[in-house]
Amino acid sequence: MNSDKILKYILFAASLLILLISGAMILSLVQGSLPSFRQFGWKFLISDKWDPTRGREQYGALLFIAGTLFTSILALILAIPLAFSTSLFVAEYFRNTGMASVVSTLVDLLAGIPSIIYGLWGFYILRPFIVDIGLSSQGYGIFTSGLILAIMIIPYATSLSNTTIMMIPNELKEAAYSLGATRLEVIWNVILPNARSGMTASYILAFGRALGETLAVTMLIGNSNNMPTGLFSTGNTMASVIANQFGEASGLQLSSLIEIGLLLFVITTIINAIGKYIIKKFA
């Protein structure tokens, strides 16, 4: 066996780790959800009840699915223009200047802030601000959580994008400039097509981060078990109901929470697949 083959086997073996982890995860989640699934069946997905009262427990995931999707998609919509601009700022327009260095470091710092701090900052600073400018009467809700989520995921959306934009060979850009292209045209026709793969990957990672975020959203979404009717209504998300009730749950409630965890896994898969499909179509 020559060294090439050995390396190939090592690489393949490493990839099995992902299967191992996700397999263990799915196995444990399915095992834990069985009692709840046996009790509620598929109705769990469309039921909007969440009643932990002993003696007539009724659980359903619909409210949380809605809350999760609303907040995460809103977060991505808000974050993309911000992240995209910051990437271009750092990696293209002001590339290699001190200012770009400072800005990129500042943005990367955002990734290190614990989510509880985001929640607290949102609670003490953002929420009163939203109440003051009259958008909502108590400041909790989908919009506030979505906004905090957007800020939280910006470093994920910019980091990889910056790298891919900066790694585009200069010759390609110089060729376009020499043909008389403006900066915008170079960005649109040279940089974007080449960096598209990396940028998409970073947005998917950012979206994944938003879907799974717990503490920050929990502190700003109002935690009311109702279907969100507007941008400023309160609601609840899958990750935050799990985080909120997990420590104190047992029996059927615990099983339902685990089933919600499993659902989150499934929904993330579906949305990622849809996203990748859309991007392929536009290629």
Which positions ≥6 away from 58 have C-beta within 8 Å? 47, 49, 50, 51
In single-letter form, the type of residue at position 114 comes to P
Q: Does residue number 238 form part of the binding site for other proteins (CB under 8 A)?
A: yes
User: Distances from the Cα of 274 to the Cαs of 22, 83, 108, 192, 271, in angstroms?
Assistant: 20, 21, 28, 21, 5
Smallest separation (angstroms) from other proteins to the CB of 48: 12
29 binds other proteins (CB under 8 A): yes
State which residue, 3 or 42, has the beta carbon closest to other proteins. 3
Q: Whole-angstrom Cα distance, residue 3 to residue 57?
A: 60
In the bound state with other proteins, the residue whose beta carbon lies nearer, of 174 and 185, is 185
Closer of 65 and 219 to other proteins (Cβ): 219
- Judged by CB under 8 A, does residue 7 bind other proteins? yes
* Cβ at position 41, least distance to other proteins in Å: 21
Q: Which one of 38, 51, 97, 227 is in contact with other proteins (CB under 8 A)?
A: 51
Taking CB under 8 A as the rule, does residue 22 contact other proteins? Answer: yes
DSSP for 150-211, please give it. Answer: HHHHHHHHHHHHHHHHHTS-HHHHHHHHHTT--HHHHIIIIIHHHHHHHHHHHHHHHHHHHH
The distance of closest approach from Cβ of residue 152 to other proteins in the complex, given in angstroms and rounded to an integer, is 10
| Binding map of other proteins across residues 138-177, x = CB under 8 A, - = no contact | x-x----------x--xxx--xx-xxx-xxxx------x-
Question: Which listed residue (89, 130, 252, 259) binds other proteins by CB under 8 A?
Answer: 89
CA dist., res. 84 & res. 77, Å (int): 11
Establish if 3 lies at the interface with other proteins (CB under 8 A).
yes
Hunting for tokens 């292209």 — which residue is that?
A: 181
Question: Which among 249, 273, 279, 265 is positioned nearest to 57, based on CA atoms?
Answer: 249
Does 28 contact other proteins by CB under 8 A? yes
CA 227 – CA 193 distance, rounded (Å) = 40
* Of residues 46, 104, 118, the one with CA closest to residue 75: 118
Tell me how many degrees the CA angle 213-255-63 measures, rounded to the nearest 5: 50
Residues 29/255, Cβ–Cβ less than 8 Å: no
- b/e burial code for range 255-274 (CB count within 10 A of at least 16 → b): bbbbbbbbbbeebbeebeee
Of the residues 40, 44, 50, 143, which one makes contact with other proteins according to CB under 8 A? 50
- Map the footprint of other proteins across residues 100-119, applying CB under 8 A: 101, 103, 105-119
| Closest-CA residue to 36 (of 202, 225, 263, 200) | 263
- By CB under 8 A, the count of residues binding other proteins is 128
CB nearer to other proteins: pick between 66 and 168: 168
Binders of other proteins among 178-237, rule CB under 8 A? 179-185, 187, 189, 197-198, 201-202, 204-205, 207-209, 211-215, 218-219, 222-225, 234
Residue 261 in the binding site for other proteins (CB under 8 A): yes
- Using rule CB under 8 A, residue 283 touches other proteins: no
- Does residue number 254 form part of the binding site for other proteins (CB under 8 A)? yes
Shortest Cβ 173–other proteins spacing (Å): 13
